[in-house]
Amino acid sequence: MSTVRHSEDVFFEEEDFRLPHKPGYYALAKQPLYSLVLLVPLILLYEIGTILVNTDVITGREYRIVAFNLVEALGALFGLSGPYMPGILCVVILLGWHLATRHGWKLHQNVLLGMLVEAVFLCLPLLLLNRFFTTGYLIPNAAAPPGEWLAEMTFAIGAGLYEELLFRLLFITFANMLLVDVLRGNETLCGLFIVILSALLFAGYHYWPGGEAFNWDTFSFRAIAGLYFGGLFLLRGFGITAATHAAYDIIAVLLSG
């Protein structure tokens, strides 16, 4: 290894002078802390929109996105309950994930801004693909949509958050733990199988009993969208994936009038 001579005849290896590698935007945007900071405003907007717009003032019934109700039911199986449990669960998972990875707490505003811009650009292929399969833009599936514009916007935000929490963060993570870590399956083959299964479950979920009628065109679009979101989750992390999904739904609502 080459060396350099100090004025006092002390020899130093060149590696001693190298600065530690600092992660760039691509790596930072995948970190859970950035996902948490990016998505907390969406969690708050969804809850505020539900209270102000999607709640029946007479009965007090809240109209929620189906995925929110499913995460709530899933949490109840493990003794986790409460009116805001899915949102709190999302925050706790990302915070715990951040603590486990031992990344620093310093945030860069330009990274968060880049994540927002990236999410908007990444949703554009889905908008184009939607037009190939259907004549109108598909908007989020809600448990009981009131049919108002602000209500649809609230559902759009909730779909991006909780459908990705359910089908990507929870399903892909735990399925991978089961098939790869516990059953010792091939990581590549199991990963491909999990992403495909997640996409099919995501597509089928939109035809929840009492909701939208099944249609092969819309199912095919949603299955492809599920594969797209699965790939984004693996390559770009949860924050950008959820933001991309929310951006698609919000723009779809706006274009649908």
pLDDT digits (tens, 9 = 90+) for 83-101: 789 999 999 999 999 999 9
pLDDT of residue 146: 52
pLDDT of residue 20: 54
In angstroms, rounded to a whole number, what is the distance separating the alpha carbons of residues 168 and 174? 10
The mean predicted confidence, pLDDT, of the chain is 87
pLDDT of residue 137: 80
pLDDT at 166 over 60: yes
Model confidence at 217, in pLDDT bands (50, 70, 90)?
A: very high
Distance of CA 218 to the CA centre of its chain: 21
Lowest mean pLDDT among 29-38, 113-122, 129-138: 129-138
Helices (H) and strands (E) in the chain, counts: 9, 2
pLDDT of residue 15: 43
Contact 243, 163 (CB under 8 A): no
Average pLDDT over residues 64-68: 89
Quote the percentage of the chain above a pLDDT of 90. Answer: 65
The beta-carbon contacts of 177-181 under 8 Å, at least 24 apart in sequence, are none
Average pLDDT over residues 102-118: 94
Helix (H, G, I), strand (E, B) or coil at 117: helix
pLDDT of residue 18: 52
Contact 64, 158 (CB under 8 A): yes
Contact 126, 48 (CB under 8 A): no
pLDDT at 57 over 90: no
pLDDT of residue 8: 46
Lowest mean pLDDT among 6-10, 33-37, 93-97, 251-255: 6-10
> What are the sequence ranges of the domains in the chain?
25-255
pLDDT of residue 141: 57
Higher pLDDT, 142 or 49: 49
Average pLDDT over residues 129-158: 78
pLDDT of residue 167: 97
